[in-house]
Amino acid sequence: MNKVGFFKSIQFKVVLIYTLLILLAMQLIGVYFADRVKTITLDSFENSLESQSQLIAWNVGEAIRQAQESNVEDPNHVADQIQNQLLEIDANIREIEVIDDNMVIVAADEKHRDAVGKRTTNQLVVQNLSSTSTNKFRRADRSSGERIDIVTTPIMVDNHRYGMLYVEKSFENVYEQLQQINQILATATIFALLVTAILGFFLARTITRPLVQMQRQVMAVSQGNFTRKVQMTEPDEIGKLATSFNNMTLKLREANATTESERRKLKSVLTFMTDGVIATDRKGNVVLMNNRSEQLLNVYRHDVTGNSILDLLKIRKDYKIMDLYNMENSIVLDFSTDDETILLRANFSVVKKDSGLANGLIAVIHDVTEQEQVDMERREFVANVSHELRTPLTTMKSYLEALQDGAVEDPALASKFLGVTQRETERMIRLVNDLLQLSRLDSKDYKIHLERTDYITFCQSIMDRFEMSKKQNIEFVRQFPKGSFYVLIDRDKLTQVIDNIISNAIKYSPEGGIITFAIRRRGNKIRSMISDQGVGIPKENLPKIFNRFYRVDRARSRKLGGTGLGLAIAKEMVEAQGGEIWAESDWNRGTTIHFILPLDRRDS
């Protein structure tokens, strides 16, 4: 999660809003206050100027009355008396004049003394000369731009109008005072904003600190850390929120622990299942598969995740996704190669949401190769037994019917037929005995009687017996090491194994052929190799020669009296004594049967 910048944080927003509210309040108060101060100050200034003008006008009227009563005939005496009244005036007054009814300036301030005795040209005086009340005007000086206040006041002498008092006074100092007040307000506003921002910062921190802690907690929870807690500062709404958040974190930790435990259980189950499990989404694309599925299908989950299950199971030509949703029976998948047979059985079940809508598929895959092979071998075994028994029985039935029909009267023919019948009977007896022996081996209903035996002497005795009883022109070659090698074997069963292998070698060896019996020591084991110079076995048939009833050349094997069970019995007996057996052969180059037995530990 990216860190939130200060200018985007709640803390900044709280401080900003708080400061703007104070600024707005200060502005409203300042505007109202400045306007009221300005109004009151200007009104007070005007009223003061008006009172001052009226007082001066009364004093001038009194001075004129007293001058008239003194009967002084000097015409300048009245003007001097008026001028004396204008000496003590406010220094802020720009201009003051006394104009009589003839519009002649009788007296004026020091700055305008030159205008005394002249006729006034001031339009305000001309317009208000006959007025009997005080008039007020405001204007700005055209040359300096100075703002001035003008008051015209009638001068009365014994209730008779004498003239007019004209007063101009600048109120720039009033505006300077108002400007100072505004500056004070602005300074106070700035100071208040600074104090407000600082207080707002600390106030916002008290609000946002638990929120920041909760943000960090959320980040920690998103990363799987449920151990941190939000510190509670005050038992207010945020404190209660922090308490609720801590409780939620605790419950999330418990829920996550439960989910994680169930996930591990499910993963363990899926990992160690002997069957493959594949999960898909609603469209049939692979989203999950366990290790066994990878092994059975010979794929990597990362390579097929997201691909259609139809392509993964190689059934796109025969099925569609909706067919799998409606599939009730299992299907058999053939993944066989040139070197290996692989048969798989797939069962499909539908994953549904709480609403009942289909949300995907679960495919369970079983390896049924061995089962199918066992079924095939069982069918083949039954067919072979039936065939092996039917042939001699058919032969015996034919000869017996011939004897019954009169051939018994011919001694030579009867003897020949009885000989064939006897050979077929012996053949069936051998077949039944081999089957019974295999049955005992399969059911483990037999005992191995192990004896400590000198293996070289044991094999020498077997070869001596074959040397004495051989009827064909076959040479036996012995390649035995010197010395004694002791093994723990069941002498009877191992004798049967070697007899069976040598008998097969004799059967399939040509006239004048050589059968070699070689023994080699390999570590703590001893290896035996019996080779012939017969027609051999094709490489593709070698893995099957130890199967029951398997014969490379059935016609020749049956002609030589074989049942196809000898090597199967030999394999079972060698493995029962802790050994291994296998074959090596090339077509038309002979066959070698190898088997290994463990040496007695006292001699290894």
Q: How confident is the model at residue 342 (pLDDT cuts 50, 70, 90)?
A: confident
Which residues, including other chains, have CB under 8 Å from residue 297's CB and lie 6 or more apart?
276, 312, 313, 335, 344, 365
How much is the pLDDT for 556? Answer: 46
Q: Residue 559: which pLDDT band, with cuts at 50, 70 and 90? A: very low
What was the pLDDT predicted at 233? 62
Q: Across residues 393-411, what is the average pLDDT?
A: 78
Alpha carbon distance 207, 283 (integer Å) = 49
β-pairing, 580-585 vs 160-170, is unpaired
Residue 603 is predicted with a pLDDT of: 59
Residue 596 has a pLDDT of 92
8-state DSSP, 275: S
Distance, in Å, from the CA atom of 134 to the CA atom of 151, rounded to the nearest integer, reads 7
- Exposure string of 79-102, with b = 16+ CB inside 10 Å and e = fewer, is bebbbebbeeeeeebbbbbbbbee
Structure-block tokens of residue 55: 């007082």
Handedness of CA 139, 143, 145, 147 (dihedral sign): negative
Mean residue pLDDT across the chain: 78
Confidence of residue 179 (pLDDT cuts 50, 70, 90): confident
Average pLDDT over residues 31-43: 80
Over the stretch 56-113, which tens digit does the pLDDT of each residue have? 878 877 777 777 777 655 556 656 666 666 666 666 677 788 888 888 888 877 777 7
DSSP string for 402-436: HHHTTGGGSHHHHHHHHHHHHHHHHHHHHHHHHHH
> What's the rounded Cα separation, in Å, for the pair 502 and 474?
12
pLDDT of 119 strictly over 80: yes
**Quick one: pLDDT at residue 88?**
60
Alpha helices in 1-122 (DSSP H): 10-69, 75-85
- Report how far residue 599's alpha carbon sits from residue 528's, in angstroms, rounded to the nearest whole number: 12
pLDDT tens digits for range 527-557: 999 999 888 888 777 777 877 666 665 444 4
Q: Is the pLDDT of residue 387 over 90?
A: no
Q: Where in 486-532 does DSSP place strands (E)?
A: 486-489, 514-522, 525-531
DSSP 8-state code for residue 554: H
Q: What is the CA radius of gyration of the chain?
A: 65
Structure confidence at residue 77 (pLDDT): 60
CB-neighbour burial class of residue 444 (10 A; exposed 0-12, middle 13-18, buried 19+):
exposed
Lowest-confidence range among 150-159, 232-241, 310-319, 359-368? 232-241
Question: What's the average model confidence in pLDDT over 252-261?
Answer: 80
286-303 confidence digits (pLDDT tens): 988 888 888 888 888 888
Rounded Cα–Cα distance for residues 417 and 399 (Å)? 6
What percent of the residues of the chain are helix, what percent strand, and what percent coil, each to the nearest 5? 55, 20, 25
pLDDT for residue 389 is more than 60: yes
pLDDT band of residue 561 (cuts 50, 70, 90) is very low
- Which pLDDT score is estimated for 554? 47
State residue 558's pLDDT score.
46
The mean pLDDT value for 222-236 works out to: 70
β-pairing, 286-289 vs 276-280, is antiparallel
- Three-class secondary structure of residue 165 per DSSP: strand
- Looking at 337-410, list the stretches that DSSP marks H as alpha helix, in order from N- to C-terminal side: 369-404
Mapped onto helix, strand or coil, the DSSP state of residue 439 is helix
Q: Is the pLDDT of residue 590 over 60?
A: yes
Does 1 have pLDDT greater than 50?
no
pLDDT at 519: 92
Residue carrying the six token digits 């049956």: 558
Domains of the chain with CATH codes: 10-177 (3.30.450.20), 273-367 (3.30.450.20), 373-442 (1.10.287.130), 447-598 (3.30.565.10)
Confidence of residue 564 (pLDDT cuts 50, 70, 90): low
Q: For the residues 495-507, what does the mean pLDDT come to?
A: 86
- Whether the per-residue pLDDT at 34 is higher than 60: the answer is yes
Cα 105 from chain centroid? 102
Q: 33: which residues sit within 8 A by CB, 6+ positions away?
A: 185
Cα 253 versus chain centre, distance: 19
Helices (H) and strands (E) in the chain, counts: 15, 17
Q: H-helix or E-strand containing 479?
A: strand 475-479
